[in-house]
Structure 1
Amino acid sequence: LSTYLPRLKVLLREANLEQVSATHLRKQIESEFQVDLRPQKQPFKELVHSTLTEIFTSGHEAHAPAAAHQASSTSATASSTSSRPSPAPAAVNSPAASRAKNPFSVPQYLSPALVDVVQIKTATRPEVIKALWKYIKDHKLQDPDDGRFIFCDAPLKRVLGKNRANAFAMNKILGAHLRTEAQYSENPHFSEIPMTEDDVVKPRTPGVKGAKGTKRKAAAPRKKRDPSKMPQYRLSPDLAKVCGFEQHTRPQVVKQIWVYVKANQLQDPQDGRFILCNDLLRRIFETDKVSAFSMNSHLSRHLTR
């Protein structure tokens, strides 16, 4: 699984953590690398959790390149008044200004419970997550036996509604504590988060129950394919211009397309799952905008054995 770690980190930094799941990420990797990771579902899920924790604890933002988040946050103090804070505007002529519609680059209002923890009244979502992890580290709330989990003190319980929370699931809960300026203007009151069952690690079972309660053997893990034995494909002239070579394996072709997309800044700033095609990519995908999932289906006619 370490082969896919660099791409997984990119996907996690660009993902909407309120909607994305480990299954979604696994299918994305399978689609891009043309592999079957179903026999490794649990190890992949654990890799996602550990990678996400590493991203946040290292201080890197999870949703976009750092340049996209130029908005400043307003610190709250114990003697703060009840006056309504104003989110700081994005810098003019900056990447953040061009991404003003992206909810992860726009300052949002925080619930009183979340303000008590991070001491910030308005901030972008990545800034909130970074401040939340600082609080967790400063108060030594991370589970020493499993860094994917957090022991909640009284203030965190008001935010997460648990005694012990999963770091990956924590980001989904934050949605209830954040509001855009329009949402806050319509309703400035936040509901309390009810206490729910603690997050736990699901034990791995050797067998899976069948339709009538009988157990069938779990699928045997597939052997990892040797890259040197993967089939080589000849690329069409247009695809060769993108990749910089005329023949290679399919995973390497997909990898090089992403290198080209990143180098030419063709990834949709509003939704990183989509690619905005320039003239060359338009000749390959025959569309102005293509998703990472459907991209592979277009490649077949440009690859020959």
Structure 2
Amino acid sequence: MSAPAAIRSGEFLSCPAAPRWRAASMVSVRAWGAAGLRVRAVAVAVRAEAEGAAGKGKGKKKAASGITKPKPISAELREFVGGAEELPRTEAIKLVWAHIKGNNLQDPNNKKIIVCDEKLKKIFGGRDRVGFLEISGLLNPHFPK
């Protein structure tokens, strides 16, 4: 028997014939020297595949839930976003940030502070200045339960 090529980290798992188990397993690999003596035994951990990695290309999408699920919004926020009846919280925050960046409404001395214009004052309860961490909290009343 000839001496096998050294197995480097990751080569065993990238082999097309390598098994893909759902649960973590241990695989023993023995390397033999030229004289037929056992040189070493290497344990390789095979990690479980991520859920959905095996189902690539099947077209299945997970239904939106939580903050990504569209919900009815208040009249003030509806006016701000352009008339949409329902909107996910994530999209509402993106639209607010796009308005802030597009109109240069961040305080030049402290970028964490937002200087509100008339449109933002309507949705932020009339406040002149808002911290960037307060934005999602100030949008909560616009998503009635």
Give the structure with the higher percent helix: 1
Give the structure with the higher percent strand: 2
Q: TM-score, normalised by structure 1?
A: 0.25
Max Rg structure:
2
Q: TM-score, normalised by structure 2?
A: 0.49
